[in-house]
Chains A and B, each alone.
Chain A
Amino acid sequence: MADEHEHGADTHDEHFALYIKVFVMLAVCTALSFIVLLIFGHGSQTGATIILLIAVIKASAVVWIFMHVKWDWRKVYFLVTPLMILCFMMIMVLMPDLVLAWRR
């Protein structure tokens, strides 16, 4: 089962450097979210938003580069796109429960 890497001019040595760069970026993001915790403390809304945004960026980097989706997008979009739409829909559907529970 040969894998179809349609990289064109990309060589795998170039990929090696990219993987290391993404790894460094992920490590930095982890440290950053820990620092944001030290600055804002627990229970802070701003802190929570920044930390979760950093988490989304980290996850996107892993999916795009480590999971090869950057190169395989044409082959997997039909699976990932409905999933993203459904995730968004689920958040919308559950929003009223979040809001109605705000009895502060």
Chain B
Amino acid sequence: MSHDAPHDDPRIHMGLPLPNGKLAIWIFLVTEIMFFTAMIGAYVLIRNGTTPVRRTEMDEKTKEVTVIEEAWPTPDKVHLVEALGAFNTFVLICSSLTVVLAHNALHKKNTKRAVQYLGATLALGTVFLIVKAYEYTSKFQHDIIPGHIGEALPGMPDQQDKAFHAAARKYVYRVKEQLEHIVQNPEKYGSEAAADCQALLDDMKEQEKDVPQPGGAQPIKVLAKRAISAPEFGERVNKLNEKYEHSDHPLHLTPTIPYGNMWSSFYFAMTGFHALHVFGGLVVFAIFLLMAAKGKFGPQHEGLIELTGLYWHFVDIVWIFLFPLLYLV
């Protein structure tokens, strides 16, 4: 196995002018690119393919009809903070820089400096994961989880109602439980919130009344009050959430966001897989730091650092594409 550059050695070589490790890591990166391209491609297709749903709202007092278009949720609807995403992007870019400087330092045989840069990379990667964890807890708190979110709002076409009928029933059932929990804890949520929730629960109950029949026959039960429909329910849930958003104890009822389940599914799939990749890279960096702590790390590991750096840069590039697609566009 010759380490000479090909033009130095007059013999004919077999194989590629590339160390095995580099070839292996590049092939691995190509497969990983295909993996993320599949998800990002699906996201672009489905997002562009969602037709905006036109729904109408009529103001009770002025009888003015406004047409609202519900399309793919914007970040503010799903409690996504763009500034956090931008900060995370900056953190990963810094970590890319530190890993390449670590390789640079190791090439110049400066092991101590290289270990410092590797430590910085690990720290920055951990910051990224912490910010991600904070974002995820925000999603869990607001119950923006695939399969949980309501999809129907009043004024949507009938097809929408029919298509989401079963899901709407499950949504109503879930939120009813949340409402009952609030009603049973007025000291935590406030009496006004508990009263509002009870009012909504009452509106979901059907009321029957007896119609007396002539001749002493059995009275017939008829429907006196119909329960409000799932879209109306969703709208009122959103309004309740909005009303108590900035109070001491926000209600955090599962919201109704058209296309919210699709959004949530993509968000968790893409950022979750990316975070797993970040975590894998951090494990490798931690191993290097352990080796350095035991004094077994040195300039002979320059190639290893370069290959790990290649993987880390790939992780950075994926985030460079995920950030605009999920947060900005």
Contacts and interface: CB of A to CB of B under 8 A. Distances in A.
The answer on A and B forming one complex is: yes
B313 A33 contact: no
Interface in A23-44: 23, 26-27, 30-31, 33-34, 36-37, 42-43
Contact of A19 (B51, B75, B101, B317): B101
B74 A42 contact: yes
Find the residue from B100, B309, B321, B324 having the highest chain A CB count within 10 A: B324
Contact of B5 (A6, A55, A59): A6
Nearest to B93: A26
Nearest to A95: B45
B90 interface: yes
A102 B47 CA distance: 11
Contacts of B207: none
A62 B313 contact: yes
B123 interface: no
B30 A83 contact: yes
Contacts of A23: 93-94, 96-97
Contact of A98 (B49, B74, B101): B49
Interface string A72-88: 10111011100100010
B320 A55 contact: yes
Contacts of B22: 3, 72, 75-76
Main secondary structure of the interface of B (DSSP, over half): helix
A79 B27 contact: yes
A27 to B, nearest CB: 6
Contacts of B314: 67
A92 interface: no
A97 B82 contact: no
A20 B81 CA distance: 29
Interface residues of B, number: 55
B141 to A, nearest CB: 23
A102 B328 CA distance: 21
Interface of B: 3, 5, 16-22, 26-27, 30, 33, 37, 41, 44-45, 48-52, 71, 74-75, 82-83, 86, 89-90, 93-94, 96-97, 100-101, 104, 107-108, 302-303, 306, 309-310, 313-314, 316-317, 320-321, 323-325, 328-329
For the complex of A and B, the 7 pairs showing the least CB-CB separation, nearest first, are A101-B49, A23-B97, A1-B303, A48-B329, A75-B18, A42-B74, A51-B324
28 contacts: A3-B302, A4-B3, A4-B5, A4-B17, A12-B107, A16-B101, A20-B97, A23-B93, A27-B90, A30-B89, A37-B82, A42-B328, A55-B324, A62-B313, A62-B316, A62-B317, A66-B309, A66-B313, A67-B310, A74-B17, A75-B16, A79-B26, A79-B30, A80-B30, A97-B49, A101-B49, A103-B51, A104-B52
Given A1-B20, A75-B17, 10 more contacts: A20-B97, A34-B83, A34-B86, A55-B321, A67-B314, A72-B22, A75-B18, A79-B26, A98-B49, A101-B51
